[in-house]
Structure 1
Amino acid sequence: METSPAGTTFSPILQLEGVTRSFRQGEREIVVLKGVDAVLWPGQAVALVGPSGAGKSTLLHITGLLESPTSGRVFLNGRDCATLSEGERTRLRRKEIGFVYQFHQLLPEFSALENVVLPQLILGRARKAAEARALALLSGLGLGERANHRPAELSGGEQQRAAICRGLANSPKLLLADEPTGNLDPHTSEYVFRELIDLIRHQGVAALIATHNLELARRMDRVLQMHEGRLVELAPASVGR
């Protein structure tokens, strides 16, 4: 147990300890992450900022258990992920981690409702319960009447809101988002961002959100900047000033 910044004692959702990641390119070794430390708490929206190529996507992949660090440790809800088998990592990823991407990546042949139902069925939830949760999530983001429309029949903002619902379908502890509003016009981006933050806080999810939009970053609870392979915490109000 640790003490959160707000003074309430509870366990962090995510802990990164000395995470490194390097790649071989011919005879060269390219070091992307040089010892990343971070702690994320329930209900926090944390911005991940930094220039393209700084390692943000690599960090999200490691945090989401899509790849392993070269060294260091990733703890998710108190579990040391390095000790898990590949099957256990897959089950943990499906149950406790949600993903939202810049391009919604909804399955085009399925309706918005079906796209939100599918991750729940994979986890083993009964179809009726999965459909009820999917409809509740979609309705909460103003998509109740659009639930049976396929992605091609939805606007860009509607598609991204459906993707957010899919990311939250299995009630994850951790939500990872990579430029979730980066493909939207400013008005739609503002609406989607507001709804996303409200869901994060209402559901007590710890969220790490990579973004180039510094205005949105300033409005999150915390800001972490990738700098020379490490994370530096910034005061939100100071970002981009």
Structure 2
Amino acid sequence: MSNTALRLSDVRKGFDMGRGRLEVLRGASVEIARGEVVALLGPSGAGKSTLLHIAGLLETADSGEIAIGGRSCAGLSDSERTAIRRETVGFVYQFHNLLPEFSAQDNVALPQMVAGKTPDKARERARDLLSRLGLGQRLDHYPAQLSGGEQQRVAIARALANNPKVLYADEPTGNLDEATADAVFAELLRIAREDGVAALIATHNGALADRMDRRILMHNGVLEAG
């Protein structure tokens, strides 16, 4: 069985801009192994978010191949892409986007119930993840009752709830102060490595990038060793 969790091969994407066309990805390729945490670097506007969205099957590429867990995602219907996202992909963004009317535990349980897990099993998994992230005493608190760092921990737990093969994060600590960002990122790293989740994390924070397994740089629409 291959240890590769994510493979992008010659991925290309452009956007029509009035009279011209902006080529954002010009043949991006990368492989990430299970449990490997990779920093995605590049200036604003370089295409990092576009790459994450395409790799996470939120957008379609013009050409190239995306394989998650050894399964090619080429030529899939919208419903098939949605099923793969639900079953094998997790997302963490700079802003947590928690549902304000649900507790921390239920924010993490809901994606599991959507995927077909029973409420009891979903809440058991949510309790375990939140406890691992230091929120065992905050299960019944609502987002407004949690600090920014605690809310981002809930968002990380939610992203990991369905045991994804790949985790994508777009500036996951960009909205936190330095000390809180450091603590939250340490927990994300630990769980990804313990659970064998491949992680591709876009960041401008060089100190955080230094703590990952390797860097890749988005440059002129391709990925280079950072």
Q: How does 1:84-233 map to 2 (within 5 A)?
A: 84-233=76-225
Aligned equivalents of 1:55, 1:24: Cα separation in 2: 15
One-letter code of the match for 1:174?
Answer: V
Greater RCO, CA 8 A, separation 6+: 2
% identical equivalent positions: 57
Q: How does 1:16-55 map to 2 (within 5 A)?
A: 16-55=8-47
> Unmatched 5+ residue regions in structure 2?
none
1:205-235: CA deviation from partner (whole Å, max 9, x where unpaired):
000000000111011001011011110112x
1:92-142: CA deviation from partner (whole Å, max 9, x where unpaired):
000100000000010111111010000000000011000000000001111
Aligned-residue CA RMSD (Å) = 0.8
Give how far 1:83 is off.
Answer: 2.6
Q: Hey, what does 1:12 align to over in structure 2?
A: 4
TM-score (norm 2): 0.98
Matched residue count: 226
Aligned equivalents of 1:135, 1:218: Cα separation in 2: 31
SS in 1 for 2:34: coil
SS in 2 for 1:138: helix
SS in 2 for 1:99: strand
SS in 2 for 1:39: strand
One-letter code of the match for 2:65?
Answer: R
Give how far 1:79 is off.
Answer: 1.3
Give how far 1:200 is off.
Answer: 0.5
User: Which stretches of structure 1, 4 residues or longer, exceed 6 Å deviation after superposition?
Assistant: none
Q: Hey, what does 1:69 align to over in structure 2?
A: 61
Aligned equivalents of 2:61, 2:83: Cα separation in 1: 19
